[in-house]
Amino acid sequence: MIDMKYSRSIFGALFTFLVGVGLTAPANAGIKDEYDRAQECDYSKAEYGSDVGVFDEVKVRFCISEDRRFVIYVMRSGKSWALPFDRDYRQAGVLSLNTIEDDKLVHYSKKKGVVERVILGRKRTERPVLY
Rg (CA), the chain: 21
10-19, 53-62, 98-107, 118-127: range with highest mean pLDDT:
98-107
Query: Residue 9's Cα: distance from chain center in Å?
Result: 38
**Count of domains in the chain?**
1
Residue 52 belongs to some domain of the structure: yes
Residue 83 belongs to some domain of the structure: yes
Residue 27 belongs to some domain of the structure: no
Residue 44 belongs to some domain of the structure: yes
Residue 91 belongs to some domain of the structure: yes
The range of the structural domain enclosing residue 61 comes to 40-123
Instruction: Quick: pLDDT tens for 1-21.
Output: 455 554 555 555 545 555 454
Distances (CA, A) of 95 to 68, 84, 85, 111: 20, 12, 13, 7
Question: Which bin fits 68, alpha (ψ -120 to 50), beta or left (φ > 0)?
Answer: left
Residue 78 belongs to some domain of the structure: yes
Residue 21 belongs to some domain of the structure: no
Q: What is the pTM of this model?
A: 0.65
